[in-house]
Structures are given as C-alpha cells and as structure tokens.
C-alpha cells in the first residue's frame, strides 16, 4: 500500500504568517519608498524621445535643407511649396504645424512650443509677401530652428535642468 509522506500539520505551511498577501495587489512602476521611476521605464522613454527627436530632425531637414544648390546654399520642400501662390504658404505652415504637434508630445516646456509656433508664424506671414517673402522663406528656415529648440529642450531635461529655454 501507499504510505503518506510526513508534512506540516494541517493549517501550518511552515511559511511565516506575517507576509503581506501580494496575490491581488498591483505592482507600481515606481518604488514606493524612494519615489524614483523604474529605471527600465526611464531607459525606454529616453530611447523613444531620442528616436522621435531624430525623426523630427530628419523631417525638419527635408522641409528646410534637403536640396543642395550650387554654391553650398540649401533649400527644402517648405521653400519650394511656398513658391506656389496662395496655398503654398498655408501648406508650408501645415507641414511645420505637424513638427510642432509631434514635438509637443515629447513633454517639452510650453515656452519652447510657443517659440516654435512663433518661428512658424513669422515664416508664414512674411512668406506671403510676393518675391521677398519667398526669399525669406528660403533663408529663415523655421523648421531647422524648431529642431534646434527641440534638441536643446530635450538635452536640458536629460541633464535635470528646469530652466526655461
């Protein structure tokens, strides 16, 4: 016949009875004692911000500097689209608006977003002036300026600075 192995007495598992019940508790992504963010989550966010910054930098380059002209001067899609009377400058503003929208999703300060909007507004308003506005559009390069603002804001945040740019 089968013989039972000796084990703990009924009702006694041999484990300490004062442990908290964690079966139904939720685990937060931050440590409760110190309030610090989970380091893995921080790394993932940093990678996402870096990837998005690189993507936006390439987008700004396409809009403002992608085409090299003789003499080393560079122009982009925004300046070329701006040559179309009437709708060109509005289309350029829309393309720049996407950059600002995407940058705002990276949790940068509102003051930086405001400066980006101002850069785009200046380029759009001055760009509506025939001939001189088109020349200004090629030189001002609001999207490249906005990419530099974004980079500075993300770098300041990474270094723990809370100063307004």
pLDDT level of residue 21 (50, 70, 90 thresholds): very low
Return d(Cα 51, Cα 89) in angstroms, integer.
29
User: Strand pairing partners for 37?
Assistant: 30
Among residues 116, 122, 123, the alpha carbon closest in space to that of 100 is found at: 116
Distance (Å) of CA 105 to CA 16, 49, 74, 99, 139: 48, 10, 29, 10, 28
Look up the pTM and report it: 0.70
For residues 161 and 148, the answer to whether their CB atoms sit within 8 Å is no
Q: Which tokens in the block code for residue 163?
A: 């100063």
pLDDT of 164 higher than 70: no
- In the chain, where the domains are located: 39-158
Lowest mean pLDDT among 11-15, 130-134, 155-159: 11-15
DSSP reduced 3-state for 49: helix
**The tokens 């990419």 sit on which residue?**
147
Q: List pLDDT tens digits, range 56-90.
A: 999 999 999 999 999 999 999 999 999 998 799 99
For residues 123 and 136, the answer to whether their CB atoms sit within 8 Å is yes
């Amino acid at each position: 016949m089968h013989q039972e192995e000796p084990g703990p007495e009924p009702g006694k598992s041999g484990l300490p009875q004062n442990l908290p019940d964690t079966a139904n508790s939720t685990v937060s992504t931050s440590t409760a004692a110190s309030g610090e963010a989970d380091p893995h989550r921080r790394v993932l966010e940093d990678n996402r911000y870096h990837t998005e910054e690189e993507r936006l930098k390439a987008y700004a380059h396409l809009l403002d500097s992608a085409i090299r002209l003789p003499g080393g001067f560079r122009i982009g899609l925004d300046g070329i689209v701006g040559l179309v009377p009437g709708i060109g400058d509005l289309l350029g503003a829309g393309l720049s608006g996407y950059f600002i929208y995407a940058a705002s999703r990276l949790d940068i300060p509102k003051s930086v977003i405001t400066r980006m909007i101002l850069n785009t507004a200046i380029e759009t308003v001055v760009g509506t002036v025939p001939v001189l506005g088109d020349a200004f559009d090629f030189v001002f390069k609001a999207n490249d300026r906005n990419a530099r603002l974004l980079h500075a804001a993300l770098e300041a945040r990474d270094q723990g600075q809370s100063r307004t740019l």
